[in-house]
Every structure is written in C-alpha cells, then in structure tokens.
Copies of this chain bind each other. A is one copy, B any other.
C-alpha cells in the first residue's frame, strides 16, 4: 500500500542557502509514516495510546534536488516488514519529479520501552504489501 500526502514548504524550513534544511526531511518522512499507518487502520496516535511505540533506529536520505520555500511536495510512503522490524520507504515528489528518497527502520517498544514484536494485525497488513 502506498500513502500520499502533500505539504507546502514553510519559511522556517529553509536555510540560508535557500534550500530546505536536511533535518526537515526526517520530519516530513514522519508525516508520511503517520498517513501510511492511518491508511492501514493503525493511526500512530492510537498505537501509542495502546502502548506501542515505534522509535526510529535507522534513517537514510538521498537529497536529489534542492527544495525551496513555498513549493508543494508530495510525500509517498510504503511500509514493509524486516523480521521484527518495520521499514518505511519514502519518495518526495515535486511536479511529478522525485526530488528526494529515503527510508527509516523502526523497532516496536512497549510502555516500559522494552522491544516487542509489532502487533499481529499490523504485521499482517505490512506483510501483504
């Protein structure tokens, strides 16, 4: 499954080169993740309320073309399982062109911050993707 959502670049996100700052891409990936989990029927807010946390344990970004203030960017997110880990893949698309790409890897923790397997139903939907 593929989730798509769109953002409009904020002034605060752009550095003095007039490029979106490298760190903001990870914030945007998180928006993508939020929308994918929602589309899969597991809003992340609810996951946390049920005591499931998914911290990032790995992140990678390829910054292909600079992104600037007030541009519209689509975030495309796909999820998959890597053993007991969840992997998310992202593409940032501007005017039909992929301007960045990346992924994050997540473990699942319970309320005591101990590693647990992702909830069965989440594994099922991600396994199908």
The residues of A with any CB-CB pair to B shorter than 8 Å are: 8, 10-12, 14-19, 21-27, 30-31, 34, 43-45, 48, 53, 55-64, 66, 69-70, 104, 113
Contact, CB under 8 Å: A23 / B27: yes
* Interface pairs (15), CB distance under 8 Å: A8-B31, A10-B31, A12-B21, A12-B23, A16-B17, A16-B69, A21-B27, A22-B30, A22-B55, A22-B59, A23-B27, A44-B70, A58-B62, A59-B59, A59-B60
Contact, CB under 8 Å: A56 / B60: no
Contact, CB under 8 Å: A66 / B55: yes
Contact, CB under 8 Å: A14 / B12: no
Smallest Cβ-Cβ distance to A12: which chain B residue? B27
User: Bound complex: CA of A27 vs CA of B62, how far in Å?
Assistant: 16
Cβ contact of A16, chosen from B15, B22, B64, cutoff 8 A: B15
User: Bound complex: CA of A62 vs CA of B107, how far in Å?
Assistant: 12
